[in-house]
Structures are given as C-alpha cells and as structure tokens.
Amino acid sequence: MTRTAKYHNADDLLDNCEIKNLCYIWPKSSCAVPILSPNSPLAGKFNTNVIVRILFTMCRFPPAGPRLLNTCGVKWCVNPYHYTEAKMYRVKRFASGQPNALLPEQESSRHLIAPPDEELIEMRPKNPLHIKMLMDSASLAGYDTDGILKTKGFAIPKKKEIRMASEDSPPVLTIKLREEPKPKPKDETPLESWEDIEFGIDKMIAHISEQRKAKQERNSE
C-alpha cells in the first residue's frame, strides 16, 4: 500500500511547526536538525531532506553554499528569514545587482537544486498567516539578517542603519538593530500577496546596493 505524501509545499511544512515569536519551531526528534524522510517527494525534488534548506529555496532563492547560518539562536527554528548564506555569497549577490537571482556558478546545476521555477512558485506560501509571519520576519531581519543576529554562534553585528526609499521620495524608513522587538498594534491593512512582499524586499536591496556603489565611487575619487 502506497502512503500519501504529507508535505507538498511551504504551507504544509510551516503548518507542522509551533509558532513562538517569529520562529517556526519544527517538532524535535532524535535527528541533529529538522529533516524529512529521504523518501519524501520534497526531498527528491530539492535533492536534500533538510527542511531549512527546502523552505529557504521555496520562499527566497536557491542557496549557493552547502550551509545556511542560523541567526535567531533557536535550534529547531525553520523560518527561512532567520537564516542567511555565508558572507562571500552575500557579497557576490549584492555585486550582481540581483541578490535574489542565481549566481553564475549555480546556473549549470540549477536543475539539481530545485524544481522548475513554475513549480517552485506554486509551492510558495499561500496561507495568510504564514505570509504575514514571513513578511514580518523579513522586515525585522533585513537582507543580511543583521536585525536578528544574536551573540550565540558566530557574530555580533555593529549597529548600522539601512535606509529604504520609495521610487520618488527620499529614504523614509530606517531599520536598526534592536535588543527586543516591541509589540506592534494590530494591523487591519489587507495582507499583501507574496509577489508584493518580494517586490518590496527587492526595492530595499536595490537601494542598499546603490548606496554601497555610490560610496565606493566616492572613495575611489
């Protein structure tokens, strides 16, 4: 008798988690990290059974390196916005001007990293609860996850500001590293679509990239 697969997309994986603050806590097991069965259809599609890597690829982009770094300090958290790539890959992505796109060295192995883009898009979160949670996580973390880095693990970031601007106005939002996020009043604004969230993050990243480029040009003069 063939068993029906339990997990097909990001919503299925996130539904299996306990939510604490902005962490998605996968049920603990005897394994070292949250993983699926090697026979899981998702494990076959992504060529890995590591849940964090699968969710990161679904919700963000295919990671280039073999490891993703946890920045929230919660061992069983699988929130893709609580993880980041190694610095060398982040630098390359910023320099490319398309930080969510594949790096050149990933092009030849794209078919091994994840299913085709059309299928991958269908796997992204559609549950409004998860979209809201991930949107808040992305806003707090920032592209480099500096907003949630803790002393546990590998780095303590210096305080810095990330300015985010609209297309026709000066920077209007400052994201700063802070000790504890303050509770936000209930937002009655209708939830954005996943595409809107990605567009907003891309605009923030593009602005940061432009600032860094301008600074480099000034320093070279």
Domain of 138 in residue numbering reads as 10-220
The answer to whether residue 87 sits within a structural domain is yes
- Look at residue 1 and tell me if it is in a domain: no
Other beta carbons within 10 angstroms of residue 168's beta carbon come to 5
Query: pLDDT-based confidence at 40, cuts 50/70/90?
Result: very high
2 occurs within a structural domain = no
Looking at the structure of the chain, the number of domains it has is 1
User: What integer pLDDT is reported at residue 209 of this predicted model?
Assistant: 62
Residue 5 domain-assigned (yes or no): no
- Residue 116 counted as domain residue: yes
Q: What is the pTM of this model?
A: 0.68
The share of the chain scoring above pLDDT 90, in percent, equals 40
Q: Which of 54-58, 61-65, 129-133, 180-184 comes out lowest in average pLDDT?
A: 180-184
Cα–Cα separations (whole angstroms), residue 212 to 19, 47, 205, 219: 36, 35, 11, 11
- Which residue did the predictor score with more confidence, 131 or 190? 131
Number of neighbours of residue 65 by Cβ within 10 angstroms: 11
The answer to whether residue 43 is domain-embedded is yes
Query: Is residue 178 situated within a structural domain?
Result: yes
| pLDDT of 121 higher than 80 | yes
**pLDDT confidence of 177, banded at 50, 70, 90?**
very low
On whether residue 33 sits in a domain, the answer given is: yes
